[in-house]
Amino acid sequence: MTQEAMAQLVANTILQGSDAMYGRFLDVTSGAQERFEQQDWKSVQQALKTRIQFYDHHVGLVSQQLGAMLGKEHATRSFLMAVKAAYVTLLDDYPRYDIAESFFNSVYCRIFEHRNIRRDKLFVQSSQGGRIPKYPTPLLRRFQSQAGIYATLERMLDSTPFTLPWRDKSGDLKRITQILQARFGPQLTMSFTLEMVRQPFFRNKGAYLIGRLDMANQRRPLVLPLAISEQGELYIDACITDSDDVSIVFGFARSYFMVYAPVPAALVDFLNQLMPNKTPAELYTAIGCQKHGKTELYREFLYHLDNSDDLFDIAPGVKGMVMSVFTLPSYGFVFKIIKDKFAPQKQMTHAQVREKYRLVKEHDRVGRMADTQEYRNFIFPRDRFSDALIDELLEVAPSCISVTDNEVRIRHLYMERRMVPLNLYLEQAEPEAITQAVQEYGDALKELAAANIFAGDMLFKNFGVSRHNRVIFYDYDEIAYLTEVNFRRIPPPRYPEDELAAEPWYSVGENDVFPEEFRTFLLVNRTVADEFDRLHPELFEASYWQQLQSQVKAGHFHDVRPYSEENRLNHTSVQPKTA
């Protein structure tokens, strides 16, 4: 077989593997409505994990297939470039070229074990110039407001694919009509267009109708979260029309949506119009295409690097015992690497740390755990690194770092959204902000527990404050399933001398946790302590955590809504919203 024919065969094999992967991705996604309507929340969580695992599974299959087809004589630059050229030709009219390019990159990296990575052999930049492919069926349904707001909304609801009965459809529509009239006033008395994505979005215990209002002088997003009542009836839980509020629904600390998207580029393009502050990387990741989100994030990083001149440096805050973290001050992400050696009190291996991060990726993050993207052989320009940072990295992780005159190569790292460490935030915050942060911190612990997650290391330095002032957990080396932790009360001392002894007078098992001790390391600041006692005193009681464990073991799934009470129908004021 000629080199050209072999290159064409390899290119077709990789694209077929990408097709097979995304076909299974869509198969799992297509079951989201049935799982939602049957309220099979356990299967919802399993489907999330299963769908994430498809990608690496299919990359492995294709890599093995190519390994059997090719010998070492084909691993030449001319052959690899011929494969890429043939692949580009296949993508010219291909609707999922974005996903296919990332899949090609993944197969290449798997075959070469993340070595021999050069831009000319990979799709570092897209070959398609941002082309937006067409959907096989129209992405949007359009409704003209010929008969008013209520009738337009009713036609939209009637077009949705749900099979459950509505609890009070007319009542929900009346409330939404009042809300929209109050928020937008005269603009909705004139002609307007309602455009909605045909396919509902599903996540956890909710479904979401997502679209926009196209009015005379402005366009605004319209997101209607749906839930199921105890009687098994559908109802609209909220009405969201603010871009920032929609952005929170699509936040980086939440699980990925299930939405049937045969052409993800077109869906991301529309979502970007609703949330212009979101990047393509964030939106691809939010709809479950997290591997292509990783590609887009890298592209965005390269663009930022080319358009900035500040230096990478050690991230502010208390240094971690397991991870070393650095950042570029002008960039919105941090870079985390696993140290070669951990502090003595950290009894774990590198493999265990990586497993913790994988657990978080596949688990329901309930808006309280930051998503990460994992990279191998990540190359930085040497002249953008401060000498202090180079010294730090070579000291704590020499096995992971290679430095030349021109580049810094890091063999394994995580990228994660940058936030203000909670401990630093509390040191500088005004009293009102401290109250809000303490409320958020306690809520974060409770919501994580409801999702069967115990943070383990609960120090404020392991949590961050997002731009929306939400408290997010981001240090995962001691994370555990809540059901695996043994919460205990400290036994009363046997003798007065017990309380003065250097060692505890009671036995302590490997998984034992004593919530009473949280006060010792959390409540150093008197203002913070007072707010804690007022807002979350139950967090210091073993019985509270044991009760949460019982609920999780009984299969109870809590409602964790990604929107404020003010946006909920039964809690929303119909007063005009100020700009």
Beta-carbon count within 10 A of 393 CB: 22
Amino acid at position 567, single letter: N
Q: Please state, in angstroms and rounded to a whole number, the distance separating the CA atoms of residues 424 and 455.
A: 19
Q: Please state, in angstroms and rounded to a whole number, the distance separating the CA atoms of residues 326 and 338.
A: 12
Mean pLDDT of the chain: 91
Whole-prediction pTM: 0.92
Nearest to 445 by CA among 321, 531, 538: 538
Region 232-261 average pLDDT: 95
Q: Tens of pLDDT along 144-162?
A: 887 789 999 999 999 999 9
User: Angle at the Cα of 300 (from 119 to 388), degrees rounded to 5?
Assistant: 85
Classify residue 175 as left (phi > 0), alpha (psi -120 to 50) or beta: alpha
| Count of residues making up the chain | 579
Note whether 279 and 45 are within 8 A (CB): no
Confidence of residue 296 (pLDDT cuts 50, 70, 90): very high
Nearest to 483 by CA among 549, 545, 558: 549
Query: First CA to last CA across the chain, in angstroms?
Result: 67
What pLDDT is stored for residue 226 in this prediction? 97
Beta-carbon count within 10 A of 323 CB: 24
Region 455-462 average pLDDT: 90
Percent over 90 (pLDDT), the chain: 74
Nearest to 458 by CA among 439, 444, 437: 444
Note whether 214 and 182 are within 8 A (CB): no
What pLDDT is stored for residue 72 in this prediction? 63
What pLDDT is stored for residue 83 in this prediction? 93
Beta-carbon count within 10 A of 419 CB: 21
Note whether 404 and 390 are within 8 A (CB): no
The better pLDDT of the pair 106, 495 is held by 106
Q: Tens of pLDDT along 395-449?
A: 999 999 999 999 999 999 999 999 999 999 999 999 999 999 999 999 999 999 9
317 assigned to a ligand binding site: yes
1 pLDDT higher than 80: no
321 assigned to a ligand binding site: yes
Q: Please state, in angstroms and rounded to a whole number, the distance separating the CA atoms of residues 223 and 259.
A: 14
For residues 292-315, one letter each, b for 16 or more C-beta atoms within 10 angstroms of the residue's C-beta and e for the rest, the string is bbbbbbbbbbeeebeeeeeebbbb
468 pLDDT higher than 90: no
Q: Please state, in angstroms and rounded to a whole number, the distance separating the CA atoms of residues 59 and 240.
A: 39
Q: Which of 58-62, 108-112, 435-439 has the lowest mean pLDDT?
A: 108-112
What pLDDT is stored for residue 278 in this prediction? 95
What pLDDT is stored for residue 344 in this prediction? 77
Task: Find residue 394's DSSP bridge partners.
Answer: none
Q: Tens of pLDDT along 14-47?
A: 999 999 999 999 999 999 999 999 999 999 999 9
Nearest to 557 by CA among 368, 370, 364: 364
Q: Tens of pLDDT along 199-229?
A: 999 999 999 999 999 988 889 999 999 999 9
Note whether 188 and 144 are within 8 A (CB): no
Region 447-472 average pLDDT: 92
Q: Please state, in angstroms and rounded to a whole number, the distance separating the CA atoms of residues 546 and 530.
A: 24
For residues 517-526, one letter each, b for 16 or more C-beta atoms within 10 angstroms of the residue's C-beta and e for the rest, the string is ebeeebbeee
Radius of gyration of the chain (CA): 26
Q: Please state, in angstroms and rounded to a whole number, the distance separating the CA atoms of residues 63 and 61.
A: 5
Q: Please state, in angstroms and rounded to a whole number, the distance separating the CA atoms of residues 290 and 281.
A: 8
Note whether 222 and 212 are within 8 A (CB): yes
Q: What is the DSSP string of 368-394?
A: TB--EEEEEEEEEEGGGB-HHHHHHHH
Q: What is the DSSP string of 160-193?
A: S---SPBSSHHHHHHHHHHHHHHHHGGGGTS--E
336 assigned to a ligand binding site: yes
Per DSSP, the three-state class of 145 is coil
Q: Please state, in angstroms and rounded to a whole number, the distance separating the CA atoms of residues 539 and 508.
A: 20
Phi, psi of 343 (to 5 degrees): -60, 150
11 assigned to a ligand binding site: no
Q: Please state, in angstroms and rounded to a whole number, the distance separating the CA atoms of residues 328 and 307.
A: 12
Q: Which helix (H) or strand (E) holds 274?
A: helix 264-274
What pLDDT is stored for residue 189 in this prediction? 66
471 assigned to a ligand binding site: no
Q: Tens of pLDDT along 167-186?
A: 999 999 999 999 999 998 87
Q: Please state, in angstroms and rounded to a whole number, the distance separating the CA atoms of residues 121 and 268.
A: 26
Q: Tens of pLDDT along 350-363?
A: 999 999 999 999 99
What pLDDT is stored for residue 533 in this prediction? 92
Q: Please state, in angstroms and rounded to a whole number, the distance separating the CA atoms of residues 114 and 376.
A: 7
Which two tokens mark 265?
């580029």
Region 68-83 average pLDDT: 80
Residue 402 C-beta-side C-alpha neighbours within 13 Å: 10
505 pLDDT higher than 80: no
Q: Which of 96-110, 317-331, 377-391, 496-510 has the lowest mean pLDDT?
A: 496-510
Residue 536 C-beta-side C-alpha neighbours within 13 Å: 26
Q: Known catalytic residues?
A: 371
- Packing angle between helix 97-111 and helix 41-69, nearest 10 degrees? 60
Q: Tokens 């079951």 sit at which residue?
A: 31
Amino acid at position 385, single letter: F
Note whether 291 and 22 are within 8 A (CB): no
